[in-house]
Amino acid sequence: MARVQIDQLTVRFGDFTAVDDLSLEIEDSELVVFLGPSGCGKTTMLRCIAGLQACTAGRIWFDHEDVTERTSARRNVAMVFQFVSLYPHLRVAANISFPLQARGAPRAEIEERLDWAARIFGLQPVLRRFPAGLPPGVKQKVALARAVVRRPTVLLLDEPLSAIDESFREEMRWELGHLQRELGFTTVYVTHDQREAMSLADRVVLMRDGRIVQVGTPSEMFEQPADEFAAFFIGSPSMNFIEVKRDPAGLRLGGNDVLLKLPAGARAALGEVGPRNLRLGIRPQHVALISDPADDAVGTFDAPILDRYAIGRERYFDFALGNDTLLGMQVGPEAGERPKVAFDLAHAHLFDCETGRRLPVRLAGAS
Amino acid sequence: MLAIAGLEKRYRSKEALLGIDLEVADDEIVALLGPTGAGKTSTLLCASGLERADAGRIEIDGEDVTGLPPSHRDVALVFESFNLLPTLSAYDNIAFGLRSLAYREDEREIDRRVSMVAGTLQIDHLLRRDVEALSGGERQRVAIARALVRRPRVYLLDEPLSALDLKLREGLRLELRALHRSHPSAILYATHDYHGAAAIADRIAIIDGGRIHQIGRLDELFADPSDVVVGALLGSPSMVRFEATAQDGVLVADDLERPLGRLAGEVPGRVMAGLWPDDVEVSAEPLPGYRPAEIYATDFRGMDQAIQVQAGSHFFRKVVGLDVRFRQGDRCWFRLPPERIFMFDADTGTRIRTAVSGDPEHEG
Amino acid sequence: MAVEGKADLPAMTATERAIRPRRDPLSDRLILGLFLAPSLVVLLSMVAYPFVSLIYYSFLRFSILRPQVPAEAVGFENYAFLLSDPDLWSRFVFTGQFVFLSVGLQFLLGITIAYILQRDFRGRDVIFTALMLPMMLCPIVVGFLWRYMLNSEWGVVNYLLTLVGFAKLDWLGVTQNALWAVVIADSWMWTPFVILLATAAFRGVPKTIYEAADIDGASAAFRFFMVTLPLSAPILFIALLLRLIDTFKQYDLFFALTGGGPGSSTETVSFALGKLAFSYFYTGEASALAVILLLIIIGLSLIFVRYLTKLGRQRG
Amino acid sequence: MIRRRASPAMIAALTILTLYTLYSMGPLFWLVLSSLKSRADLFTVPPKLFFTPDLSGYQGVFGVGKAAGTASAIGLTQALVNSVVIAFSGTAIAVALGTLAGYACSRFDFKGKGDFMFFALSTRMIPPVAVLVFYHIMFSRLGLADTRTGLIIITTFINLGLATWIMKGFFDGVPREVEGIALVNGYSRLWAFWHLVIPMVKGGIAATAGFCFIFAWNEFAFASIISTTQAKTLPVRVSSAMGSTGLEWTQICAAGVVLVIPVAIFFYLIRRHLLMGMTFGVLGKGR
């Protein structure tokens, strides 16, 4: 277990820059999730830490040791791959103890560690079997057991759950989260699944095109997205984005047709951001239908409701603003006749249209 | 409309389907939800005619098509990953069906329809591209366009979104759903993802081990699960399950103090007791009638959090609000409302329809 | 999420369109039959029929040289004659020696070279392709080429030997030397095959497994013997099977290189069969020997097929 | 991977590789060199590396120039024609039949498929001399002995199994979805086979043909027994290069080079599919 320090790391493949000048510190026993769409550089990043990928520039430190030039074998890292990488010719027991065998650990120690790893992953019943006959989830458990059996400095997980069936994947996610906190390994986890990231991470590192978009705890990521990409990528269903124009009374939506009234404090704050084009972002969970609000209620407006429907046990509605169709989610009781659309302004965000950055404007008024 | 009755299929000596009965109405999406190897793909292949059924009957719009080759059935099929003919452009892939002997249209009509569907799916700009140059999401869009453009009687979709990134999957799923709402058609949609099934389907058919365990609207399935498999596959988190023993008119879960409840009738031996997570009551404070437990793991979900609770040798999961932030290792207390308990046979998994009620002696 | 152009898209169902009546396409069963039939005819007439006929001939005494002499059923006499012939047993012994040495040398060289060629360096692919060339040559040419190079008086091999201080060897005139001569020539031609398959086997090991082994701290040697070699075993066994059978039936090379000499000391079973059938024209006995040869090869194949199936089942 | 410096192990590896390359390439070099030597230069001790090239070997092989008249001239022209006709025809037929059978084995599950495949494999396993006893009799009776037709049939036979297996491998590489898409969209299987699948395995068919050609071109055992005078192929003709003074080495070497050239060309064309061909396609392609 160790602190990992990544210092201005860059990886280029020919003209393509996979990781671009990335720096990050990972605390001891922390679980950090690298999240991003495919091709964002998150796996390359992980392979650099593992020593499987040489970096073009930058250094990697484990505690106070510079490991940039070391081979994987000499870094004492453990890794679980996306696609199962068990040794098919070895039984489960031999697979788990392989890293200890490779180091020539004494027999007694091997027995003891194997026993421990098999117990925590509940693998005792399959120790004598070959990996081929096992379901994918159990195979990944074996891979995890093989990873932790040697007490690695850093545990690296490369989309370990994505090749597993949905129902079992959830099971594994729980197990993984529990064990990481129990065992306290410094862990770097790579995934494109924001649910996994939010669920497991102490901190999430959202990446795009080889760069970090935002680093933060899951709730920071959810509540204070750094920009439109972060806002879009985290949370489902995805956030609604609406072009807005300023108005003395608040904001005009949907090509000036609709006025979103804002409290006085917010209008003042809006005045200070300067002459920019703005976009409003709000999650469907924070859009509701309410009956008969007060006429001057802030955050409410009339809009055509296109459709109401249930998805699973959740109730949604589509409403129109100009040419856009937007999504809302009815959390409370069903609204009656001629309902109005209500934005929960405390959870609405304003973004700069040009840069995509979130602007520090509180739409709900004074703090 | 698609009707499948008594469908059986065997590959060499391996049984794949053991009698599938299923109907998809003209305006509904039925999701075939089940784990890998449950028989989803076999069902779709038999329905399309690409595999021959060993027994059973398949009807489309009332016409028996069991013996017909796939080209005579007028169905569309979208596979999980390989859908596009690499030798053709995106446009020619979409137009492919309309140039066949069976579904031939003249080129002007083809052009009209392709551009219309391409507009709907927002792939106009991709039409002249080589399919090798398309991304995964774009390829599935083209595949769906090819299905749409022919206006078949039935759509068969085999995990069409599973190979895509989560974010892309969620977006495309909503689009498909919206498309279906504006243009109703019969769709059979196979998936192993509960979220996917719940988000897209009008009705869900729970399939496992080559059998359909239950079929119905989501609320019907939640209200009246017929089988323990339904509980295991439905919901996120899925059904809370306790191995229990029925004895002397009371239900006792292994390793838990106090009976779960009183039985209205005689139930012999071992059962599986299950509740939907929403019905389990969890508290951070000890309350009368609540049982002590420990938080095994937590799962932050943005708007709320899910917790896994360990009570003795039992584990269950539940979604709770963010007002109390549970942490791994915290103490908690829970109550299992007896009237919400479903019982299933421990061996066969079938539902035991005996009511469970609160026990006045033990419940507060 | 916006779905555009909703209004333009006609209903997706096609109830109004009748399916056009058309000719039923050929059923899959018919296609299967049509596609398979020609090959089946060739195989039956060229393999099954000869095999059955050979068994029949092997119980007859006759010679194709004298068709006017009627064939006479002799029961197992041909087999008894063959099996009691000490010369035949020594042919089997020689064939065994040849197969063992030759295949052994090919595997030793082949696996070593394949291992070395795993490392990427400039020009590797060119060298690799060039090294494959010998196995593509005509065996007759190979035989003559080595016969020419191994000539005891003016052959280039003996010249090179004298250059580095060894005495000239009479390669083809002494039994033991002649055995080595064919082993060297056969290995020259077929080591590339083992290189090819070993390379394929090594590359067939998924990259992540190598990476996993690296991360697990395995040294190069540990990795090779504990991961690469066992994982390559199925393909190496296929290579072994093919090499054993090919070497066992080797005929052309002996024909061109030693002609069975000196004397008949480098006659393999195949070569002896050739002589029996087409020099002495003992057709009955030759058929019996052919049957024995075929049974050995079929047996050998079945053992390997069974082993491979077992291995495949174990590893999925 | 992290770069490593030159180590003793690496030097050893390089030495072994160099020695083996000499063993492997030397004889080929010697073959070409010797084919250009005059009779007198052939037998010198020490062997000459530098000499005046002499084309008499090739003249003898092709029956041109002054060597044409000598009794020892191989007179390849006739054999060359035979070889070309037999190898090309046999290859074409075998590849055509093998393509059909390979498709059937790849796409359909039928009773006895495993047996059929093993049966096809046997065409490579069987020692030629073992079945030759029978062919000799059968071909004599049918009047096929010493004819090109007879040898074309044999060439087809020895390559059919190979072609079936390799083509099955290539068809296995084409996803079944290809036909699925066509069938569901209203096309027939034959249409899909011809218009979609065959174009996708064009390269595979070429590779298979290359292999079959090489095996057909090099075939000796069958041809040596079946063709006695008329239908003699090149390898058979070379094997009978006995002059009044023993073996005509110049001519044998020259003939060897002539025999190697088409093989080298085909080999170069199919090099990416080597594995497929050499292992009967058992190992699949592109591993």
Tell me the residue type at C308. Answer: L
Give the residue from D260, D284, D257, D262 showing the smallest Cα distance to D273. Answer: D284
B301 CB neighbours in chain A (<8 A) are 195, 198-199
Which pLDDT belongs to residue D72? 54
- Tally the domains of chain B: 2
For residue D42, pLDDT beyond 80? no
CB contact under 8 A, D221 and C251: yes
Identity of the amino acid at B184: P
Q: Quick one: pLDDT at residue D283?
A: 64
Distance from the C6 Cα atom to the nearest Cα atom in chain A, whole angstroms: 12
Is residue B314 within 8 Å of residue B253, measured between CB atoms? yes
- In terms of domains, do B165 and B220 share one? yes
Cα distances from B157 to residues B118, B145, C79, C252, D147, in angstroms, run 19, 12, 65, 58, 59
Looking at the domain assignment, is residue B231 inside a domain?
no
- pLDDT tens digits for range B64-113: 998 888 888 899 999 988 889 998 999 999 999 999 888 888 899 999 99
Check whether A193 has a pLDDT greater than 60. yes
Measure the CA–CA gap between C166 and C157, rounded to whole angstroms: 11
Pair (B67, B140) in one structural domain: yes
Strand partners, D246: D243
Enumerate chain D positions whose Cβ falls within 8 A of a Cβ in B. 109, 175, 177-178, 180-188, 196, 199-200
Residue at C5 is within a domain: no
C259 contacts D115 by C-beta, under 8 angstroms: no
Interface residues of C toward B, Cβ cutoff 8 Å, are 1, 3-6, 8-15, 17, 19-20, 22, 24-25, 27
Phi, psi for residue C52 in degrees, rounded to 5: -65, -45
Higher-confidence residue of D110 and C23: namely D110
Each residue of B200-217: pLDDT tens digit? 899 999 999 999 999 999
Structure tokens at C257: 């290189």
Average pLDDT over residues D52-75: 68
Interchain CB distance below 8 Å, C5 and B119: yes
The pLDDT of residue B142 is above 90: yes
* Strand ranges in D91-204 using DSSP code E only, listed in sequence order: none
Do residues A7 and A53 make contact, with C-beta atoms less than 8 angstroms apart?
A: no
Q: Is A77 on the interface with D (CB under 8 A)?
A: no
Yes or no, beta carbons of A73 and C208 under 8 Å apart: no
Q: In the sheet where A278-282 sits, what is the strand order?
A: A258-261, A250-253, A240-247, A278-282, A349-352, A358-359
Residues 6+ apart with CB under 8 A from D117: D105, D164, D165, D168
Q: Is residue B199 part of a domain?
A: yes
C116 falls within a domain: yes
Residue B138 sits in which domain range? 2-225
Calculate ∠ Cα C127-C132-C134, nearest 5°.
120
**Cβ–Cβ gap C145/D260 under 8 Å:** no
- D5 CB near a chain A CB, below 8 Å? no
Mean pLDDT for all residues in chain A: 88
CATH of the domain at C194: 1.10.3720.10
Confidence band of C7 (pLDDT split at 50, 70, 90): very low
D1 and A70 within 8 Å at the Cβ level: the answer is: no
Most A CBs within 10 A among D2, D5, D7, hence the mutation to make, goes to D2
Helices (H) and strands (E) in chain C, counts: 14, 2
Q: Compute CA distances A60 → A25, A68, B272, whole Å.
A: 10, 5, 52
CATH superfamily of A4-228: P-loop containing nucleotide triphosphate hydrolases (3.40.50.300)
List CB contacts (< 8 A) between C54 and chain D: 130-131, 133-134
Count how many domains chain C has: 1
pLDDT in tens, C179-199: 999 999 999 999 999 999 999
Is the pLDDT confidence value at C5 over 60? Answer: no
Angle made by CA atoms C236, C239, C241, in degrees to the nearest 5: 110
Q: Which of B101, B116, B174 sits opposite C8 (nearest CB)?
A: B116
Share of chain A above pLDDT 90, in %: 50
Domain D76-278 has CATH 3.40.50.150: no
Which chain A residues are within 8 Å of B178, Cβ to Cβ?
Answer: 318, 325
DSSP C138: -
User: Measured between beta carbons, which residues in chain D are less than 8 angstroms from residue B70?
Assistant: 180, 183-184
Question: Which helix or strand (DSSP H or E) is residue A4 part of?
Answer: strand A4-13
* Domain limits for position C217: 85-315
Question: How far is C67 from C140, CA to CA, in rounded Å?
Answer: 32
For position B333, which CATH number holds? 2.40.50.140
Q: In the prediction, which pLDDT does D6 show?
A: 67
Band (A296; pLDDT cuts 50, 70, 90): low
pTM: 0.86
Long-range contacts of A105-109 (CB under 8 A, 24+ apart): none
| Distance from the B26 Cα atom to the nearest Cα atom in chain A, whole angstroms | 19
Contact C200 D283 (CB under 8 A): yes
The pLDDT of C252-276, averaged and rounded, is 85
Percent of chain C with pLDDT over 90: 25
In a mutational test of the C interface, the residue from D10, D11, D18, D24 whose CB has the highest number of chain C CBs within 10 Å is D24
Q: Do A166 and B174 touch (CB under 8 A)?
A: no
> Within the 74-103 window of chain C, which residues sit less than 8 Å (CB to CB) from chain D?
none
Furthest-apart CA pair in chain D: how many Å? Answer: 76
pLDDT digits (tens, 9 = 90+) for B221-233: 999 999 999 999 9
Closest CA to C124 of C172, C195, C37: C195
Statement: residue D82 has pLDDT above 70: yes
**C neighbours by CB contacts (3+ pairs under 8 Å):** A, B, D
Q: Do C138 and D235 touch (CB under 8 A)?
A: yes
- Whether chain C has a CB inside 8 Å of the CB on A89: the answer is yes
